[in-house]
Amino acid sequence: MLLQVDRTSEWFVPKFGSKKFRISIGILFLPYTSIVTCFAALGAISGPLQLERVAAICVIYILALGVGAHLLDAVGGKTKPWGNLPKRKIWFMALVAVSIAFSVGIYFAFLDSPWLFLIGTIEGFFLFAYSLELFGGKFHNNPSTIFSWGILPVFAGSVIQTNSITIETIIISTITGFITYALITTSRQYKILKRNNGDPCIIKKKEDILKLITVGVIVGTIIFFIIKYYNYI
């Protein structure tokens, strides 16, 4: 049974424009996509800095998660938070995005980063298993989210640069794992409060925490990049 759960009033959805526009932006979960993309970038700039590879891993996660996974989740999960969407169109766009993302990854895997094959296979599994709630939804949970979108992106970023995972990478992934845990627990509390018309003050506090995490990760990644870049040149 599919449940109708409206998310168009949540903090990351634009408050302006037509409903179609608001859903088109909201469905991408831009703050969360930005966070995971930053995690991948952190992994890529933790070692020798090749800017085209930093850009490549960011593109991979923007397309695979920001577009692909979120679109599949919108039509393949038990809930329908964005209403009745055109399934064929959504599936087509999701598969195109995922295909482009994996094509970029495969290019670098064949070039000089073969460990991307393993990481890409694992990420691909979680992308479909989580978003479509396969295997009875056994992978639609916090541990899967932390591992696939909190830890593996850092590893992928490191591997695309050096085909290795360093101590620095492991330290960064531990931090991003904890950040992801804080993000998803707060996000789910916020979602439940919104769904049940909870206390506006508590909802506002949860929103502020989510915004703080988002801005903190983005700003932290930019600062880390600037430090690494100027040390590298």
Nearest to 206 by CA among 9, 4, 10, 39: 10
Count up the domains in the chain and report the number.
1
**Residue 97 domain-assigned (yes or no):** yes
**Residue 199 domain-assigned (yes or no):** yes
Q: Which domain holds residue 125?
A: 19-232
Q: Return the pLDDT at 67.
A: 96
Q: Which residues of 145-156 are buried (b: 16+ CB within 10 A; e: fewer)?
A: bbbbbbbbbbbb
CATH number of 123's domain: 1.10.600
Strand stretches in the chain, DSSP E: none
Rounded CA-CA distance 102/36 in Å is: 16
Say if residues 115 and 162 touch (Cβ distance below 8 Å): no
* pLDDT (tens place) for every residue of the chain, 233 residues total: 344 466 888 899 999 999 899 999 999 999 999 999 999 999 999 878 899 999 999 999 999 999 999 999 988 876 777 878 889 999 999 999 999 999 999 999 999 999 999 999 999 999 999 999 899 889 989 999 999 999 999 999 999 999 999 999 999 999 999 999 999 999 999 988 988 888 999 999 999 999 999 999 999 999 999 998 887 66
Q: Return the pLDDT at 76.
A: 80
Any idea which residue has 């995972």 for tokens? 165
Other C-beta atoms lying within 10 Å of the C-beta of residue 12: 19
**Residue 13 domain-assigned (yes or no):** no
**pTM summary value:** 0.92
Q: Return the pLDDT at 233.
A: 60
**Residue 92 domain-assigned (yes or no):** yes
